[in-house]
Every structure is written in structure tokens, then in C-alpha cells.
Chain A
Amino acid sequence: EVQLVQSGAEVKKPGESLKISCKGSGYSFTSYWIGWVRQMPGKGLEWMGIIYPGDSDTTYSPSFQGHVTFSVDKSISTAYLQWSTLKASDTAMYYCARLRIGSGSYYFDYWGQGTLVTVSS
């Protein structure tokens, strides 16, 4: 069974750093892109970018380029999303999702349960 399990909720102060995780299981972790999606309180889904665990190739949304960093640890089938300097505006639910590609179709078929990040002084 394919599963993406994310790390637990975080409460941080502005200016602090943070790294959240997404652990894949039940499939070949290095063979599928992982995407990150933000949902701010009461708002819609926003695509942040994708990372390919096989070689750490990344594509960032222009809206998030330079503000977040994606990484992976293949040895433990885990993808990471990190911030070096959090802002209150980073308060949101963050999801990871597996990207499937084939026959002109691109879609996120499995999703993590989400990690709630709260940034408040």
C-alpha cells in the first residue's frame, strides 16, 4: 500500500528555521517525483514545487523560489521541505504528494496527511 506520512504539527516563532518531512512507503521512492502543496487558512491549494528523489532534481514554483528548499534522503525514503527564516505568512497546512506522469497525464495520486505549521510570536 502506497503511503506518504508527514511529520507532526509545528509551532514556531518568526525568524526561526524549520524542516518538515514526508516519508514514502509501499513503492519505489526514488522513481516518482514528490510535490509540495500549501494551503493557507481558508484559502486554496498552491503548488510549491517538485523534487525527484532519484537525483534530487527540483522545480520550484516562481512564487516559492528562494523562500523554501526541498531535499531528500533516499536511504530513508523521506522528502523534506525547509525554511531558513519563517514568517507569520508561512502559517499554513503543507501537503506532500506523489506525482504520476504518463500518456500526457500529470497528476498527484497519493497525498500525505498534511503538516500544520503555525508561525506566531
Chain B
Amino acid sequence: SSELTQDPAVSVALGQTVRITCQGDSLRTYYPSWYQVKPGQAPVLVIYGQNNRPSGIPDRFSGSTSGNTTSLTITGAQAEDEADYYCNSRDSNGNYVFGTGTKVTVL
């Protein structure tokens, strides 16, 4: 099955902007989705489709895709954004692959 690769960890100063990237061949065909996972909590969908936010997700979260790379951007990161973030995409075989995950630290 396909693979989605993410940087293991990134850090961002409070109020600054951070971009998390995810690379994989399936992203050329299918829109990705992004999930926030905090310790002891279930994953939360933060971005889906071309660049859509579910109700309740702050507009500081945005997404973009170009070629085989998709990005999740947090503009004006807050302390509560500290979490692990995973991309996900369907592949041509009908599998739904998660990325390797990125730990975001807000300094």
C-alpha cells in the first residue's frame, strides 16, 4: 500500500506560523485529511478536502496540496494546538493510509 511521510517533529513560537507537510503518491489523486491527536484523547478532524474545516475548528488551521505534497498550516499557533498531527489519504487500492505523524510543540 501507499505511504505518507511526515517530519517527526516541529516547534513553533506562540503566535507564529507553522507548516506541517505530508508526502505521498496518493496525494496526486485524492484529497487528504488532517487529524489532531492530543494525549489521552481521540483524534479530531481539522482539515478535509481541498481546504475545508469542520464546524468548531478555528480558522487558523488551513490546508493546501501541490503534487504529491500536502501541508497543514497553523497561522498564529496557540498553546492548545500542541499535539500530534496526522495526514490521511485514500490510495488507488481503496486503503486509507495515515501519515507517520508530526509532533507540534508550541514554545
A positions within 8 Å CB-CB of B = 35, 37, 39, 44-47, 50, 59, 61-63, 95, 97, 99-100, 103-109, 111-114
Encode contact with A along B80-107: 1 for CB under 8 Å, 0 otherwise: 0000101011100011111111000000
Kindly count the residue-residue contacts between A and B in the assembled complex, taking CB atoms under 8 Å apart.
Answer: 73
A113 to B44 CA separation, bound complex (whole angstroms): 11
Q: CB < 8 Å: which of A47, A111, A112, A114 contacts B98?
A: A47
On whether A111 and B44 interact (CB within 8 A), knowing A44-B86, A45-B37, A105-B31, the answer reads yes
Instruction: Classify chain B: how many residues form its interface, as a range.
Output: 20 to 34
Residues on B with beta carbons closer than 8 Å to the beta carbon of A111 = 42-45
15 further interface pairs, Cβ-Cβ under 8 Å (given A111-B42, A113-B42): A35-B96, A37-B98, A44-B84, A44-B86, A44-B98, A45-B101, A47-B88, A61-B1, A61-B95, A62-B1, A97-B43, A105-B52, A106-B30, A107-B88, A109-B48
User: Which chain A residue shows the least CB distance to B6?
Assistant: A44
**B54 close to A (CB within 8 Å):** yes
A12 to B58 CA separation, bound complex (whole angstroms): 40
User: Which chain A residue shows the least CB distance to B31?
Assistant: A105
Residues on B with beta carbons closer than 8 Å to the beta carbon of A105 = 31, 33, 48-50, 52
User: Which chain A residue shows the least CB distance to B101?
Assistant: A44
B58: min CB distance to chain A, Å: 17
User: Which chain B residue shows the least CB distance to A48?
Assistant: B96
Q: Point out which of A37, A47, A50, A106 has the most chain B C-beta atoms below 10 A from its C-beta.
A: A106
Q: CB < 8 Å: which of B42, B44, B94 contacts A112?
A: B42
User: Which chain B residue shows the least CB distance to A102?
Assistant: B49
Residues on B with beta carbons closer than 8 Å to the beta carbon of A63 = 1
